[in-house]
Amino acid sequence: MHTPIRYLAALLIILATTGGAHAAQNTLPPVLEELIATALAENPELKAAEARFRLYEHNIIPAGSLNDPSLSFSFSNYPVDSFSGNIFPMSGKIVKLSQDFPFPGKLAARTEIAELQAKWYQALLAEQQLQLSRQVKEAYYSLTYTVRAVRIIEKNMRLLDDFIRLSEANYEVGKGQQQDVLKAQVERGKLLDRLYSLRQQHLTSLAGLNRLVNRPSATAVADTPDPPLAAIDTPLEDLQSKAETLRPMYAAYRSLIDRYQAQHKLAELDYNPDFKVGLAYTFREPNNADSGTDFAGIEVGINLPIFRDKRSAAAAEAAAGTRMALAQYQDFRNQVLFNIQDAYSQVQTNHDQAKLYKTGIIPQASQALESAINGYQVGKIPFLTLLDNLMTLYTFELQYQKALSDGQRNLARLEAESGQPGNPAANNAGQPPAPGQEGE
């Protein structure tokens, strides 16, 4: 029995040392950079957000434009018995051109409202780019975890199969107990059940990632290298203080506040009358009274803003909107500060856990397993203790991979919450395509 036991010991040592130490760096692997670039270019929801921004951007010019002038033509003062234009001196054909002019300042206020509305959706587009980058990273590192977890379970199942054969052989020659065989088979069944779950999670993670990059759900990711150990170089206070400048949603809420203030200014201007100016020309025919000299006329009119209740309601609506936007801004600011601190502490915890597993717990568990194998070889350690050490090492290896994956996912959340550079979306924060550069 010495040869198979030593074979198992060699395999276990290899298993415990797979995945080498990871540098504490946050450089994105090329495959992930490509996935993010593809998502930013092809994601349908992002394209819809850009189209929505363009929609409101194209509303700016109409909002600041005058209404079209009116042109009319009429037959005036024609007798109904003959419809002749040369009988009465007031008969004539009238051409009239008129134009409405809003009270000074109204067009500028409407333009400002439309511009600020477009800026709101522009900032939402930049925010969506940032969050899409985060979602791709999270999906990618979830996928990476399932790949490594499946490999760990498959390796442990192969080792457990060797353990089962060993326990069966010992049982046949009277050196082992049947419960050793049954316990090993139960543990193998538990591993198989976990393997089924992880394979399902792998397919779900892959489909979710492909949805974000607008690809068929079963499209494979070419390469998933080991994730690095997540680390943070920037102090928490710097991340929180700079977020208000870098995070696009802050700009969105500022434009919302400004829009309601501009809307209030327009409501105040609406208490003033608008103007209407018109020119008229009457073509006359020679008649019994004179030679039919043509007439010309000018008219100036105003509307009467006498229904002040609706104007007061519009001003109150804008004032309430301003208060709402200010409260939303403060609530969002508080939420971002909390999210940054939470993600920051999560990354630090994941970093410390992964480092502890890699440099402490896993090597110790590997040594404990090797010692158990040696003890079992000379009959000092029962098989169940050997089996327990194997399953303990397997559990720690999974937890190590989960700490690596969670660290990168929390780092992606931290970058998105703080709007810090380091990913394509953050570098383009608040800078969607310039007007006139949308796709043809």
DSSP secondary structure string, 392-410? HHHHHHHHHHHHHHHHHHH
Structure-block tokens of residue 225? 């290298």
**pLDDT score at 292:** 80
Mean pLDDT, rounded, for 33-39: 90
Higher pLDDT: 359 or 26? It is: 359
Mean pLDDT, rounded, for 46-74: 92
Q: Give the separation between CA 97 and CA 353, rounded to whole angstroms.
A: 80
Q: Give the separation between CA 119 and CA 114, rounded to whole angstroms.
A: 9
Backbone phi, then psi, for 215, in 5-degree steps?
Answer: -125, 160
Q: Give the separation between CA 198 and CA 405, rounded to whole angstroms.
A: 14
Task: Quote the crossing angle between the two packed helices 2-17 and 106-172, to the nearest 10°.
Answer: 170
| Backbone CA torsion sign across 393, 396, 398, 404 | negative
Kindly state the percentage of the chain with pLDDT values over 90.
41
**pLDDT score at 136:** 92
Contacts of 3 (CB under 8 A, 6+ apart): none
- The partner residues of 96 in beta bridges, in order of sequence, read 72, 280
- Residue 287 placed within a domain: no
Contacts of 266 (CB under 8 A, 6+ apart): 106, 109, 110, 113, 318
Say whether pLDDT at 421 is over 70: no
Contact 255, 121 (CB under 8 A): no
pLDDT in tens, 81-135: 887 878 888 888 899 999 999 999 999 999 999 999 999 999 999 999 999 999 9
Contact 393, 337 (CB under 8 A): no
Say whether pLDDT at 37 is over 80: yes
Domain residue limits at 411: 2-66+102-130+225-270+305-427
**pLDDT score at 26:** 55
Contact 86, 285 (CB under 8 A): yes
Please report the beta strands in 139-287, taking only residues with DSSP state E, as ranges in sequence order.
Answer: 275-283
Determine whether 82 is exposed, middle or buried from the number of CB atoms within 10 Å of its CB (0-12, 13-18, 19+): exposed
- Residue 402 placed within a domain: yes
Say whether pLDDT at 369 is over 50: yes
Please state, rounded to an integer, the average pLDDT across all residues of the chain: 83
* Helix (H) or strand (E) segment spanning residue 258: helix 248-269
Say whether pLDDT at 313 is over 90: yes
Higher pLDDT: 59 or 178? It is: 59
Say whether pLDDT at 279 is over 60: yes
Contacts of 335 (CB under 8 A, 6+ apart): none
**pLDDT score at 172:** 65
Print burial letters for 178-211: b (CB count within 10 Å at least 16), e (below 16).
eebbebbeebbeebeebbeebeebbeebbbbbbb
Structure-block tokens of residue 287? 């008649």
**pLDDT score at 177:** 66
pLDDT-based confidence at 178, cuts 50/70/90?
low
Mean pLDDT, rounded, for 346-366: 88
| Backbone CA torsion sign across 196, 200, 203, 206 | negative
Place of tokens 């709402």: 324
- Residue 92 placed within a domain: no
- Residue 48 placed within a domain: yes
- Residue 374 placed within a domain: yes
Collapse the DSSP code of 206 into the 3-class scheme (helix H, G, I; strand E, B; otherwise coil) and give the result.
helix
- Residue 182 placed within a domain: no
Higher pLDDT: 5 or 407? It is: 407
Contact 1, 377 (CB under 8 A): yes
Collapse the DSSP code of 74 into the 3-class scheme (helix H, G, I; strand E, B; otherwise coil) and give the result.
strand
- Residue 72 placed within a domain: no
- The partner residues of 101 in beta bridges, in order of sequence, read 275
**Which of 255, 233, 269, 396 is CA-nearest to residue 328?**
255
Say whether pLDDT at 328 is over 90: yes
Domain count, the chain: 1
Say whether pLDDT at 179 is over 60: yes
- Residue 12 placed within a domain: yes
Mean pLDDT, rounded, for 148-153: 88
Supply the CATH number for residue 57's domain: 1.20.1600.10
pLDDT-based confidence at 2, cuts 50/70/90?
very low
pLDDT-based confidence at 176, cuts 50/70/90?
low
